[in-house]
């Protein structure tokens, strides 16, 4: 039924059996399982350098994320792509939405910053272009970030305490005695700018409502300018207070209007001078020294939706303490899906914070009544049986590690996410975009990541989505040219639609550098090859006749491998190679070099080995070591492994398929021990919606997804003596490695459900039906895990 070559499953597995109990020996005794994983979460990990995480209050997969927006000293510079940077200790407000770890500045979201201001509002905040007045410094000594809660006392003396539900939150602002107490609603100041904003103040009912029209990503350069309205969303908010409003006003551009109760106006989308002095907002004042409790809710549907979300999720009398305690329990329950035993304090902190960051997305996008904003800008309702509509998909990043962790732990959320993506595609003329921000297509990056994402979901037992309809739609995208994409030009990596110049690709079996309308021809070829392989695996499961053709397309990566240089290389439409090649070149590639992308063939490791020749293992060694033989896994060289970005994340695991699994064990341990860690600099690069964090979770467990579109897991070097994974569908997985230590990191033996296993990978049945592996570790490498023979 199956053929195994170099650890790669190449043909059809038998149909998956229903989950059933597996008889195997009792577990090995070991260290106590962590009782409260939420206690080990540090939301500040990754908030320095380029991690682009943020520390604010949020629930798992939550819509609202209430977190500070930093400023370097002018209102257009936030200090980081997602609004917060650890070394920028000055804030201009606390924004209601965020995207975790995205790497573009300006990034996205950061909607409606709300600033508690202990001073007189006597000029327009938009005129204060240096934020000299309408901002406040703070010290990290006065800052506390915990799962579900964020607290900071600003240098102005105002204490801000925030806690949230999924779509709403409570903020308590304690102003210093004898000073004015104001809250500034900077409605137009989303990170990416705004086209329009509005605010209404009802002092008699102690209420502020409003909205902002914004959207997209990367300064909107990915969306053909501000006229592409399909990339927009309007965020509505409603806020009410337990204290009487004694003063109020609004501003528009540089004009302050004390006493005014309503205004509108946007600030534009660029990051330069055209935003200075522009925009709109409003303020409400309270008695000097007041302690103000604010109830707040948001919606992407309507103001009525925001009101309903607030009423349903915040009971009367809700306080920060109560909401925060409930949020902490929510996080504790979610994080207990992966229970670890042993490890150091630092390792447990790094692990559970990574898992926390991986569970920030996708984001709930529908209101409590089931309505949501579609990619066609119309209001829709959840499909029958769908529990939530999820938004935001950083596809090029997430399909390499994050979506596998989501499917493994939360298959029901993965299914709703798959259905959500399918519905957004249906509403967008059948186009599955590479990078969705909320509901909106941004067209960022390259390839067709939705295909491996949903194919992987199907392989890993995710069932609660319209698999037939989604497959048909993705197959059409892979086989029928989108005219809009074909005609798009001059778009380095950010073309309209998907599969640009598909007809050219199908005719030549590669993406020409000079005719692909893509970021880089070689990268596009590699991405499409992997996407087609994944679709082929899904087609096989569905019994579709095109499975063989898609499998063949999964080998087209060979058409941009230049045997004369031994690397992937961009190729022109006339068949010639792009001149000026060196292994460090990024011409033809997207956020990476040829040296990195040459290894991006996880679907055909044996074919890659044959193509590269007998020194393939030595070449891979050179990818992780410098010329002197020292480890080079921290990045910084275009010729070697880059842990800060996604194209090479799978590369340390390739040794399994090459018959030297002990080198995977050594390499992943080196990365886990030296590249990741605690503290604000604990992530090597942009977390990219939890992708780098998901990689760490897998590596620390000692397992990694073998190939997109399949469910097998590669075995590495477990960091913890015991890990118990509880899938939300009832399946249980256990990894035991009682001898693990810094010295004992090499696999000596492996048993699966009590039976000895020589292969360095685990079968699909382990994921679908559950089981227990016991890994014997020692201080010296062994030949365990050599490639299995054909059978």
Does residue 17 carry a pLDDT above 90?
A: no
What does the mean pLDDT of the chain come to? 91
- Sign of the C-alpha dihedral computed for residues 565, 568, 570 and 572 taken in this order: positive
Angle separating helix axes 467-479 and 411-427, nearest 10 degrees: 50
694-to-79, 132, 699, 788 alpha-carbon distances in Å = 25, 39, 9, 28
What's the average model confidence in pLDDT over 54-75? 89
Q: Which pLDDT band holds residue 268 (cuts at 50, 70, 90)?
A: confident
Q: Which long-range contacts (CB under 8 A, 24 or more apart) does 426-433 make?
A: 426/473, 427/374, 427/375, 427/376, 427/378, 427/380, 428/230, 428/375, 428/376, 430/473, 430/476, 430/477, 431/477, 431/482, 431/497, 431/498, 432/473, 432/474, 432/477, 432/498, 433/393, 433/395, 433/498
Note the CATH number of domain 40-332.
2.70.98.10
Q: What confidence score (pLDDT) does residue 229 get?
A: 54
* φ, ψ for residue 143, nearest 5 deg: -120, 135
Which tens digits make up the pLDDT trace of 469-492? 999 999 999 999 877 655 444 444
pTM for the model stands at: 0.94
For the cut 50, the answer to whether the pLDDT of residue 298 exceeds it is yes
Residue 635 pLDDT more than 80? yes
- Look at residue 16 in the predicted model and tell me its pLDDT: 34
Model confidence band, residue 18 (pLDDT cutoffs 50, 70, 90): very low
Lowest average pLDDT, out of 226-230, 574-578, 704-708, 767-771, goes to: 226-230
Tell me what pLDDT residue 340 has. Answer: 98
Q: Give helix 467-479 / helix 450-459 axis angle, nearest 10°.
A: 150
14 pLDDT more than 90 = no
For residue 13, is pLDDT > 50?
Answer: no
Q: Across residues 324-347, what is the average pLDDT?
A: 98
Average pLDDT over residues 28-54: 92
The average pLDDT across 251-276 equals: 83
What is the C-alpha separation between 215 and 772, in angstroms, rounded?
A: 45
Percent of the chain with pLDDT over 90: 83
151: how many CB neighbours lie within 10 A of its CB?
18
| 114 strand-pairing partners | 94, 185
Who wins on pLDDT, 90 or 222? 90
Residue 618 has pLDDT above 70, yes or no: yes
Question: Who wins on pLDDT, 3 or 268?
Answer: 268
Residue 390: name the closest of 296, 464, 325 by CA: 464
Q: What confidence score (pLDDT) does residue 128 get?
A: 74
Give the sign of the dihedral formed by CA 294, CA 45, CA 153, CA 283: negative
pLDDT for 25 equals: 58
The confidence score (pLDDT) of residue 488 equals: 44
Q: Are 117 and 190 in contact (CB under 8 A)?
A: no
Report whether 706 contacts 714 (CB < 8 A). Answer: yes
Please report the pLDDT score of residue 542 as a whole number.
97
- Report the interhelical angle of 345-358 vs 402-409 (nearest 10°): 90
- The encoded tokens of residue 18 equal 């229903």
Q: Using the predicted structure, report yes or no on whether residue 72 has a pLDDT greater than 80.
A: no
682 Cα distance to chain centroid: 17
- In the predicted model, is pLDDT for residue 532 greater than 60? yes
Q: Quick one: pLDDT at residue 73?
A: 60
Q: What would you report as the CA-atom Rg of the chain, rounded to the nearest whole angstrom?
A: 26
**Stretch(es) of the chain classified as CATH 2.70.98.10:** 40-332
Q: What is the predicted pLDDT for the residue at 770?
A: 98
Over the stretch 139-148, which tens digit does the pLDDT of each residue have?
A: 999 999 999 9
What does the pLDDT average to over 175-189? 96
Report the top-level CATH class of 4-34+341-778. Answer: mainly alpha
Instruction: Provide DSSP, 705-757.
Output: E-STT---EEE---SSSEEEEE-TTS-EEEEE-TT-SSS--EEEEEEETTEE-
Give the pLDDT band (50/70/90) at residue 219.
Answer: low
Closest by CA to 373, choosing from 298, 439, 304, is 439
> Cα(607)–Cα(405) distance, rounded to whole angstroms?
27
pLDDT average, residue stretch 453-478 = 98
Tokens representing residue 112 in the block: 């409606």
What's the token pair of residue 462?
């995710």
DSSP, res 502: H
Phi, psi (rounded to 5 degrees) for 534: -60, -45
Structure tokens at 296: 């707040």
- Residue 62: pLDDT over 80: yes
The residue-averaged pLDDT of 174-194 equals: 94
CATH 1.50.10 placement within the chain: 4-34+341-778
Distance, CA of 212 to chain centre? 24
In the chain, what percentage of residues exceed pLDDT 70? Answer: 90
Report pLDDT for 273.
46
Q: What is the pLDDT of residue 197?
A: 97
> Is the distance from CB of 64 to CB of 299 less than 8 angstroms?
no
Question: Could you read off the pLDDT of 387-429 as tens digits, one per residue?
Answer: 999 999 999 999 999 999 999 999 999 999 999 999 999 999 9
H or E, element range at 406:
helix 402-409
Query: Residue 751: is the preceding peptide bond cis (ω within 30°)?
Result: no
Question: Does the pLDDT of residue 166 top 60, yes or no?
Answer: yes
Residue 78, pLDDT > 70, answer no
SS3 state at 395: helix
Q: Where are the alpha helices (DSSP H) in 244-376?
A: 303-313, 320-335, 345-358
C-alpha 749/C-alpha 747 separation (Å) is: 6
Q: Which residue has the tokens 């382990």?
A: 766
pLDDT for 549-592, tens place per residue?
Answer: 999 999 999 999 999 999 999 999 999 999 999 999 999 999 99
């Amino acid at each position: 039924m199956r053929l195994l070559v170099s650890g790669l499953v190449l043909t059809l597995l038998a149909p998956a059996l229903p989950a059933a109990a597996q008889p195997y020996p009792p577990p090995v005794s070991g260290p106590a399982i962590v009782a409260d994983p939420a206690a080990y979460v540090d939301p500040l990990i990754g908030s320095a350098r380029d991690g682009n995480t943020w520390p604010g209050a949020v629930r798992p997969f939550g819509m609202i994320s209430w977190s500070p927006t930093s400023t370097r000293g002018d209102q257009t510079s936030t200090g980081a792509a997602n609004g917060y940077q650890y070394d920028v200790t000055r804030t201009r407000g606390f924004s209601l939405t965020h995207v975790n770890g995205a790497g573009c500045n300006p990034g996205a979201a950061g909607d409606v910053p709300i600033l508690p201001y202990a001073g007189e509002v006597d000029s327009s905040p938009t005129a204060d272009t240096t934020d000299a007045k309408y901002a406040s410094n703070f010290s990290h000594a006065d800052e506390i970030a915990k799962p579900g809660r964020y607290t900071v006392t600003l240098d102005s003396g105002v204490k801000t305490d925030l806690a949230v539900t999924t779509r709403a939150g409570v903020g308590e602002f304690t102003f210093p005695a004898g000073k004015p107490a104001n809250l500034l609603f900077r409605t137009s100041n989303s990170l990416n700018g705004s086209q329009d904003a509005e605010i209404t103040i009802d002092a008699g009912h102690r209420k502020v409502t409003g909205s902002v029209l914004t959207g997209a990503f990367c300064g909107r350069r990915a969306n053909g300018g501000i006229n592409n309205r399909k990339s927009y969303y309007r965020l509505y908010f409603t806020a009410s207070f337990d204290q009487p409003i004694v003063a109020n006003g609004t501003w528009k551009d540089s004009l302050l209007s004390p006493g005014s109760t309503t205004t509108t106006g946007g600030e534009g989308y660029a990051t330069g001078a055209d935003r200075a002095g522009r925009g709109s907002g409003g303020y409400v004042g309270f008695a000097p020294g007041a302690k103000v409790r604010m109830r707040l809710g948001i919606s992407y549907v309507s103001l009525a939706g925001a009101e309903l979300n607030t009423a349903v999720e915040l009971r009367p009398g809700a306080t920060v303490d109560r909401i925060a305690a409930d949020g902490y329990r929510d996080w504790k329950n979610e994080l207990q899906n992966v229970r670890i035993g042993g490890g150091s304090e630092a390792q447990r902190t790094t692990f559970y914070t990574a898992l926390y960051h991986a569970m920030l997305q996708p984001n709930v996008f529908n209101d409590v009544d089931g309505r949501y904003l579609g990619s066609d800008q119309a209001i829709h309702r959840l499909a029958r049986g769908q529990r939530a509509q999820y938004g935001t998909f950083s596809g090029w990043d997430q399909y390499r590690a994050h979506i596998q962790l989501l499917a493994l732990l939360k298959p029901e959320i993965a299914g709703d996410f798959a259905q959500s993506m399918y519905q957004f595609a249906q509403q967008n003329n059948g186009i599955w975009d590479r990078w969705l921000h909320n509901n909106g297509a941004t067209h960022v990056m390259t390839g067709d990541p939705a295909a491996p994402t949903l194919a992987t979901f199907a392989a890993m037992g995710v069932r609660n989505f319209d698999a037939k309809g989604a497959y048909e739609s993705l197959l059409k995208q892979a086989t029928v040219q989108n005219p809009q994409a074909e005609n798009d030009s001059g778009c380095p990596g950010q073309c309209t639609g998907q599969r640009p110049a598909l007809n050219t690709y199908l005719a030549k079996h590669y993406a020409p550098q000079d005719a692909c309308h893509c970021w880089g021809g070689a990268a596009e070829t590699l991405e499409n090859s992997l996407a087609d392989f994944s679709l082929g695996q899904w087609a096989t499961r569905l019994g579709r006749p095109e499975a063989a053709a898609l499998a063949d397309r999964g080998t087209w990566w060979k058409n941009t491998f230049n045997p004369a240089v031994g690397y992937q290389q961009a190729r022109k439409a006339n068949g010639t190679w792009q001149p000026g090649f060196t292994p460090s070149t990024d011409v033809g590639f997207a956020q990476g070099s040829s040296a990195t992308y040459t290894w991006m063939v996880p679907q055909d490791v044996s074919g890659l080995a044959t193509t590269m020749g007998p020194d393939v293992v030595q070449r891979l060694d050179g990818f992780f070591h410098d010329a002197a033989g020292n480890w080079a896994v921290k990045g910084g060289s275009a010729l070697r492994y880059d842990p800060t970005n996604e194209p090479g994340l799978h590369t340390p695991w390739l040794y399994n398929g090459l018959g030297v699994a002990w080198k995977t064990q050594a390499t992943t341990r080196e990365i886990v021990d030296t590249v990741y860690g605690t503290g604000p600099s604990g992530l090597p690069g942009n977390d990219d919606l939890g992708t780098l964090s998901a990689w760490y979770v897998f590596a620390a467990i000692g397992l990694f997804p073998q190939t997109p579109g399949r469910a097998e897991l590669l075995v590495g070097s477990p960091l913890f003596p015991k890990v118990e994974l509880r899938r939300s569908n009832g399946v249980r997985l256990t990894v035991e490695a009682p001898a693990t230590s810094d010295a004992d990191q090499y696999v000596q033996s492996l048993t699966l459900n009590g039976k000895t296993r020589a292969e360095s990978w685990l079968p699909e049945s382990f994921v679908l039906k559950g089981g227990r592996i016991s890994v014997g570790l020692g201080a010296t490498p062994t030949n365990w895990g050599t490639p299995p023979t054909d059978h």
